[in-house]
Chain A
Amino acid sequence: MAQEFASDAALPPRPAWWAFVAISVIVLITLPWFVDISLQLSLSLAFVLSLLALSMSFLWGYVGILSFGQTVFYGLGGYCYALFAMNFGYTGWAMVVALALPALFGLVLGYFMIYGRISDIYLSVITLVVTLIFEKAIRSTSGPEYVVGSVRLNGQNGIPGVPGLQLPGMSEPLSIEGVFYLASMAMVVVYVGLRLLLTTPFGRILVGIRENERRMQLLGYDSRRYKLAAFVLSGAIAGLSGALYAVWGNFVAPEMFNLNQAAQVVIWVIVGGRSTLIGPIVGTGVIQSLTVWLGASGVGQVTLVLGFILMVFVLAFREGLLPTLGAAWRAIVGRSGAMRNARSGHHG
């Protein structure tokens, strides 16, 4: 089996990695001074969505749980933020709720699936079905009787006019630039956090479960507890992504739950490379700009192209863009690189 997340990733990151993070942060901070509003908006969206991609690839890459329905937490996060913020006006607390409720839902759903020990494929399909049914349920709430507090759910029209984030001490909600900083820093913090998690005992136990669950159980770890914890954490990350989406667009809609959205998350992760954390972020950026470009130039059906890309990547470039490019680079650069590559290929 191909190596997902190389074994040396459990070591603390190298200085080069820290330098890469530092440079990225500096670039992200200075970027709004150079680029116009519309590019800032699209970049912010890409950062928000890459959080969603990270929530899936963390679960898949670290623990080996393939959840097709991360969009259920994403949608829940968005709706929680919208409903709480519009009812009570405290957008800061709404953000907290938007993290907590998806995590709680992940706890309940994950309990049934993980403690029931259903097989991996079943889990993938069940999560997908859950998000599809959520979409249907939300779509059916267009009548005036479906009200949470003072806010109508509005069925398939979604909820417009979601207030922007206003933290205590701020005189007005975040500007476009503010949202850009919020989204980019959220992405960096989650990325760095997940990377560093690998070096902690918790992270290494998760990887151990992925490598050999029975052995971890024999060593005395209750693997179900750890898997459930990872599932809840990834639900919270997806919830954060959904809440930030609501902050970004001032709008939530049932499309957040739908099959196309769920498929896009999978495509981002597959295209970017499922064996890395940075891959999904790149994949999100690439696919997102491709989608926007396809939509703008009117070449036809976006789903047609995305479906084709997914098939091609699964059949021909299993590792995804970054690892494939990386392997090509090592093959060109020299024999030592090629050997290291071959060794890690045999491992595991």
Chain B
Amino acid sequence: MVQQFATGAYLVLFSVSTLVLISLGLAVIFGLMRVINLAHGEFIMLGAYCCVFSVKAGMPLWAAFAVSALAIGVFGVFVERVIIRHLYGRLVDTLLATWGLSLFIVGAVTTFLGPQGQGIATDFGNISVGSLNLSVYNLILSAIALGMLAVTWVLARHTRFGLLIRGTMQNAEIASAMGVSPDRVYMVTFGFGSALAGLAGAVLVPLTGVSPTLGLAFVAKAFITVITGGQLPLIGTATASALFGTIDGILAYVYSSVVGEVGLLIVAVIVLRLLPSGITGRMRSGL
């Protein structure tokens, strides 16, 4: 009984962390810029490829994480300059254009790298706590997810740029009148969100491997989490991930991962019926 409970708690922790990992980048971009990046899954996939290639080139895993985050962040800035910038204020068109981008990236990666999967091996092993056998890497993943939340919070709360971003998010016109360039703020925000997506892909790749369609495995969950979380990226992602991670973890443990995902969707639809703009929709300030 205790063992089962502990196993359940461990799976829930893992499931919550994965959700935070895959949705934080999307949530930051959506919360601060009102832009839903439908190519988010592909950003994760590109991050995963980056990590695989870095490791195969002889880098240690930690360095590969950093390289992936940086590379996808730069890629995000590029995408923002070329596509997103022209579509501010046209929500539907941003959705459509990023959808096109998502197809384009999948097609391009398949063309250049082939449809087959790739992966990297890690040898972190397991540790035993009581009668419980825990994978060390899963614990590292949870720590990184928590770290991503913390770093985002510190950046937004305690740096000058975070202040500018929060100001722009609350009122772009007044921020602009105070001499802040919203254009640059959006560019950096999009880059930061993309970097989070790239890091997520890199952290996940030792567990999942990577193929051009890797993004598909995550997008459904990431979108539900962000939409149910609502406009505040940190509180929203944290609460929605906690809620869905618990449901998903338990259902997937008892039944199967598909049942977990269906359960997650049903709960999301019911939550949105009660709170149409998400869990944090009524909150005026915060992160």
Mark A residues whose CB is within 8 Å of B. 66, 68, 109, 112-113, 115-122, 124-126, 128-130, 132-133, 136-137, 140, 259-260, 263, 266, 270, 300-312, 314-315, 318
Contacts and interface: CB of A to CB of B under 8 A. Distances in A.
A150 B91 CA distance: 47
A121 to B, nearest CB: 5
Contacts of B277: 118-119, 122
B107 A307 contact: yes
Nearest to A138: B258
Task: Tell me whether chain B's interface is mostly helix, strand or loop, or mixed.
Answer: helix
B92 interface: yes
Interface stretch (B17-25, B94-102, B137-145, B203-211): B94-102
B3 interface: no
Contact of A310 (B87, B100, B258): B100
Task: Tell me whether chain A's interface is mostly helix, strand or loop, or mixed.
Answer: helix
Report the interface size class on chain B.
Answer: 35 or more
A274 B216 CA distance: 27
B187 to A, nearest CB: 18
B220 A304 contact: no
Nearest to A60: B92
Nearest to A301: B107
Contact of A304 (B92, B104, B258, B272): B104
Given A263-B103, A303-B106, A315-B97, A133 B86 contact: no
A121 B103 contact: no
A285 B237 CA distance: 42
Interface in B22-42: 36
Contacts of B219: 132, 259
A314 B93 contact: yes
B97 A302 contact: no
Given A129-B224, A266-B99, A304 B83 contact: no
B256 interface: yes
A207 B110 CA distance: 43
B108 A121 contact: no
A310 B93 CA distance: 10
B220 A133 contact: yes
A164 B96 CA distance: 36
B223 A140 contact: no
Contact of B107 (A68, A302, A314): A302
Given A116-B273, A304-B107, A133 B265 contact: yes
A112 B97 contact: no
Contact of B103 (A112, A122, A130, A306): A306
A307 B103 contact: yes
A136 to B, nearest CB: 6
Contacts of B121: none
Interface in B212-228: 216, 219-220, 223-224, 227
A66 B154 CA distance: 37
A307 B258 CA distance: 28
A137 B259 CA distance: 8
A74 to B, nearest CB: 18
A136 B265 CA distance: 12
B272 A118 contact: yes
Contacts, number: 129
B276 interface: yes
Nearest to B264: A133
A133 B83 contact: no
Nearest to A132: B220
A118 B276 contact: yes
Given A129-B265, A136-B261, A140-B256, A121 B101 contact: no
A263 B96 CA distance: 9
A301 B243 CA distance: 39
11 contacts: A136-B258, A136-B261, A140-B258, A259-B219, A270-B96, A304-B106, A307-B99, A307-B105, A311-B100, A314-B100, A315-B86
B163 interface: no
Contacts of A133: 220, 261-262, 265
Contacts of B100: 306-312, 314
Highest count of chain B CB atoms <10 Å: which of A112, A115, A314: A314
B83 A311 contact: yes
Given A121-B95, A136-B220, A304-B106, 19 more contacts: A112-B269, A116-B276, A122-B272, A124-B92, A124-B95, A132-B220, A137-B258, A300-B111, A301-B110, A303-B104, A303-B110, A306-B107, A307-B99, A308-B100, A309-B100, A310-B103, A312-B100, A314-B87, A318-B93
Contact of A311 (B101, B216, B220): B101
A119 B99 contact: no
A314 B96 contact: yes
B39 to A, nearest CB: 9
A256 to B, nearest CB: 16
Contacts of B216: 132, 259
B236 to A, nearest CB: 13
Highest count of chain A CB atoms <10 Å: which of B86, B97, B103, B110: B103
Contacts of A113: 269, 272-273
Contact of B227 (A126, A270, A310): A126
Contact of A301 (B95, B108, B261, B262): B108
Contact of A307 (B36, B104, B224, B262): B104
A266 B86 CA distance: 20
Contacts of A315: 83, 86-87, 97
A342 to B, nearest CB: 21
